[in-house]
Amino acid sequence: MAKRRPVIGIPADRRMLGEHPFHAVGEKYIRAVVDAAGALPLLVPALGADIDTDELLASVDGILFTGSPSNVEPRHYSGPASAPGTAHDAARDATTLPLIPLAVGQGVPVLGLCRGFQEMNVAFGGTLWQRVQEQEGYMDHREDKTQPLEVQYAPAHEVELVAGGVLRSLADSDRIQVNSLHSQGVQQLAPGLAIEARAPDGLIEGFRVERAPRFALAVQWHPEWQVMGNSFSRALFAAFGAASAGRAQRRQR
């Protein structure tokens, strides 16, 4: 019998297309799960409490929390009101924030990217800067949206990988170049999270859940972008895929 690929759930954004709500996941995340993690993607609608989380977690071998144009609503971390025009996605917040600690606690491997990184920090009790570029001592981590995608997602700065961390174990050195497309960032790291990477200005760019029984890691950048052309990004998704495959094997016994 052929070996079953692990199933990785990908929670969707809820977006209005015309007058109708759609549940959407960027193709770059789906391709990274298929090509670099070697897994079968399962798109999870942003239905909040209408999703049976126990049933969902029994059906997947890993969960990828993706980036998004929207920001986590500040009420979830007692932050100040968002600037006018800030994109939010209440349905996604209602789906992902309760799901994250349940998934980690049940040993489901998780990987958070950009918004997913911020969601994981908030889900465990951390807080966010909403506009990092306005905080003294921090650089501007946003992309130039007037440029082509290849420029927006090009390497923007280096991050230093913490010795002894998961990310450091995947890299050939203690520094890698990453892209940068965000205005939110970690203000206070949640209890139980350990720093994995920092930007040159000290901003936290990666963390893991210290006591997680399985892979539970998040990064602020976008390793899914052209993942197969970047050796570190491939290694990160491969590690996530391997952890998910391990869960799949255990569930088959």
Write out the two tokens for 216. 């539970």
For residue 47, how far is the Cα from the chain centroid? 19
Percent of the chain scoring above 70 in pLDDT = 99
Each residue's pLDDT tens digit, 166-205: 999 999 999 999 999 999 999 999 999 999 999 999 999 9
pLDDT at 1: 47
pLDDT band, very low/low/confident/very high, at 11 (cuts 50, 70, 90): very high
pLDDT band, very low/low/confident/very high, at 3 (cuts 50, 70, 90): confident
Percent of the chain scoring above 90 in pLDDT = 96
pLDDT at 2: 58
Enzyme catalytic residues? 114, 222, 224
pLDDT average, residue stretch 127-152 = 96
Each residue's pLDDT tens digit, 22-53: 999 999 999 999 999 999 999 999 999 999 99
Write out the two tokens for 28. 């770059």
> 7-142+182-252 has which CATH code?
3.40.50.880
Domain ranges of the chain: 7-142+182-252
- In order, the DSSP letters of 187-223 are EEPPTTEEEEEE-TTS-EEEEEETT-SS-EEEESS-T
pLDDT average, residue stretch 149-158 = 97
**Contacts (Cβ under 8 Å, ≥6 apart) of 8:** 33, 37, 39, 40, 41, 42, 60, 61, 62, 63, 64, 240, 241, 244
Q: 175 with 112: CB under 8 angstroms?
A: no
pLDDT average, residue stretch 83-103 = 97
Distance CA 120, CA 217 (A): 9
Does the reported pTM lie above 0.95? Answer: yes
Q: Tell me which residue of 141, 150, 144 sits closest to 182, measured CA to CA.
A: 141
Residue that the structure tokens 């929670």 belong to: 11
**Contacts (Cβ under 8 Å, ≥6 apart) of 87:** 69, 70, 71
Write out the two tokens for 157. 């700065």
